[in-house]
Amino acid sequence: MKPSLIPLPKELRYTGGRSALRDDCPVTVTDAPELPEESYTLQIKNGAVQISASSEAGLFYANATFMQIKATCGGVCDDLVVRDEPALRYRGFLIDSCRHFYGAEELKRLLDAAAQFKLNRFHWHLTDDQGWRIEIKRYPMLTEVGGYRSNSRFGGVDEQTPHAGFFTQAQIREIVDYCAERSIEVIPEIDMPGHFTAAIAAYPFLGCTGERIEPTQKEGIFPNVLCVGNDEAISFVKNVLDEVCDLFPGKHIHIGGDEAPRAHWKSCEKCTEKMKRLGIADYDALQGGFMKEIASFLREKGKTAITWNESLKGGVLSPADVTVQRWMDRKNICRAFAQAGGEWIESDFYHYYFDYPYGMTPLKKTFAYDPFKACGDRPPVGVEGALWTEFVRSFDDLCEKLFPRLLVIAEKGWSGSDSRRYPDFYAAVCALLRTVPLKTLPPGRWDPRVSARLKEVKKFFRGSLSSETLRQALDSRK
Ligand SMILES: [Zn+2]
């Protein structure tokens, strides 16, 4: 039998002969220092398995491939040689713990599944308007006040129940260790200067108005941004990041930078005064300067900041400052950044945002998208699928939205943009999804017909989208 594998290995050769794969079949592991970090070779011959790798990651991936072979070959496997290495070093997935909170045990189940497919970056969205989910010892109100909201009304659905929860530093260390055992780097996101309502609810001086507010109960973009004209507010952010850097040993810290309305800055004395004093021309540059200051603060601590593409708008951030995550870039600012040598991660809204229904983003549409071409001829350093949780009210729903679409991220990130035709990928997904011990979406719903898509998308967006956005969402060219 020939195995089904996701991602498809770089090189897979059948050597004639067959092997029975008993549970006790001999496995030899050889250290091969000449192999790059994540690569490995795997040979199955005469009922024996030989693996070589130069790192824990390579060994982990060889084992992941072997597990897929065992799971899909029915006990007897055609003898083979696999020589494998990833196309991209960053193969990520985002989980939003703010809008709807799922705990450590649920996260571990997701991490197990993601690791099977050689995904290696867990982008953990920990702070937002609707909830602050990471314990910061110096500022306990962040989780005490900012981690609680009295109700949820996303999409007009009144849940009529409070929503609360956060990860203690001990739990975070446990998740980080759990990920390390699976060759996954955890990238925490502390979103700033926008999406800051929950933090301001905890410490009102962080906002421009000083008003007492509560964490938000609905989806959307909110005016409560960090007062970047206030030195104390900036020191606060740095103190938070000191603790964040201690908790997460990885190279990257995500500092957001998306969707920051300017209204409060415009009427703020401190922000206006700062712009005058420093000769800052506009609010895009005000944000850019702030992001640059935080990015260099992190660089001094040995970290690289990642920001969403909006923060490039002011023209302040250069490739030396940040890695950029592209999600929605109508003016194509990322292209210039990439052409200038900037590192970027591809997370296109219309293809890699998995919180939207399969009617809007079918598996086939996600698969057909070429992430390597999004910024012209300069390829990304990574790809990432995002799962925001405004409309995800159960863990089962979250899993169905991710699986199978997340397997496309695994395939494109590891095997490159043109690894195989969709029907072959589809068949492999059918064979391997059975091995994922989570609620996954049944095959009949991965690629709904156009009439069903329209119905599904309209139902999902009822009352919250213009017809123009709806058209764009359904346009598969996007
Ligand atoms: Zn201000």
11-84 folds as Chitobiase; domain 2 (3.30.379)
In which band, very low, low, confident or very high, does the pLDDT at 457 lie, cut at 50, 70 and 90? confident
> What does the pLDDT read at residue 442?
97
179-193 confidence digits (pLDDT tens): 999 999 999 999 999
The two domains 11-84 and 91-474 share their CATH topology (first three levels equal): no
Distance from residue 226's CA to the centre of ligand 1 (Å): 7
Interacting residues of 114 by C-beta distance below 8 A, sequence separation 6+ = 93, 122, 184, 406, 410
Distance from residue 207's CA to the centre of ligand 1 (Å): 7
82-138 confidence digits (pLDDT tens): 999 999 999 999 999 999 999 999 999 999 999 999 999 999 999 999 999 999 999
> What does the pLDDT read at residue 467?
66
> What does the pLDDT read at residue 156?
87
Residue 199, pLDDT above cutoff 90:
yes
Q: What is the DSSP letter of 461?
A: T
In which band, very low, low, confident or very high, does the pLDDT at 394 lie, cut at 50, 70 and 90? very high
* Average confidence score pLDDT of the chain: 95
Distance from residue 280's CA to the centre of ligand 1 (Å): 14
Distance from residue 283's CA to the centre of ligand 1 (Å): 11
Distance from residue 269's CA to the centre of ligand 1 (Å): 7
Residue type, 348: D
Distance from residue 293's CA to the centre of ligand 1 (Å): 16
What angle (nearest 5°) sits at the alpha carbon of residue 220, between those of residues 368 and 478?
A: 20
Distance from residue 208's CA to the centre of ligand 1 (Å): 4
Distance from residue 5's CA to the centre of ligand 1 (Å): 53
398-453 confidence digits (pLDDT tens): 999 999 999 999 999 999 998 999 999 999 999 999 999 999 999 999 999 988 88
* Separation of CA 284 from chain center: 25
Q: 475 or 1: which carries more pLDDT confidence?
A: 1
Distance from residue 312's CA to the centre of ligand 1 (Å): 20
Distance from residue 278's CA to the centre of ligand 1 (Å): 15
> What does the pLDDT read at residue 463?
58
| E strand intervals along 106-209 | 121-125, 127-128, 131-132, 148-149, 163-164, 185-192
Distance from residue 282's CA to the centre of ligand 1 (Å): 14
What is the pLDDT averaged over residues 384-397? 97
> What does the pLDDT read at residue 465?
61
For 91-474, CATH number out of 3.20.20.80, 3.10.580.10, 3.20.80.10, 3.90.550.10 equals 3.20.20.80
Residue 478, pLDDT above cutoff 50:
no
Interacting residues of 119 by C-beta distance below 8 A, sequence separation 6+ = 91, 92, 93, 184, 406, 409, 410, 413
pTM attached to this predicted model:
0.96
Distance from residue 222's CA to the centre of ligand 1 (Å): 15
26-67 confidence digits (pLDDT tens): 999 999 999 999 999 999 999 999 999 999 999 999 999 999
Distance from residue 360's CA to the centre of ligand 1 (Å): 38
Q: Domain coordinates of the chain in residue numbers?
A: 11-84, 91-474
State the angle between helix axes of 231-247 and 283-300 in degrees (0 to 180), rounded to the nearest 10. Answer: 40
- Contact in structure between 439 and 396 (CB atoms under 8 Å): yes
Distance from residue 189's CA to the centre of ligand 1 (Å): 22
Distance from residue 215's CA to the centre of ligand 1 (Å): 19
237-256 confidence digits (pLDDT tens): 999 999 999 999 999 999 99
- Contact in structure between 226 and 201 (CB atoms under 8 Å): no
Distance from residue 266's CA to the centre of ligand 1 (Å): 8
> What does the pLDDT read at residue 24?
87
Cβ atoms within 10 A of the Cβ of 140, count?
A: 11
- Contact in structure between 353 and 327 (CB atoms under 8 Å): yes
> What does the pLDDT read at residue 413?
98
Distance from residue 322's CA to the centre of ligand 1 (Å): 24
Q: 117 or 24: which carries more pLDDT confidence?
A: 117
Distance from residue 258's CA to the centre of ligand 1 (Å): 17
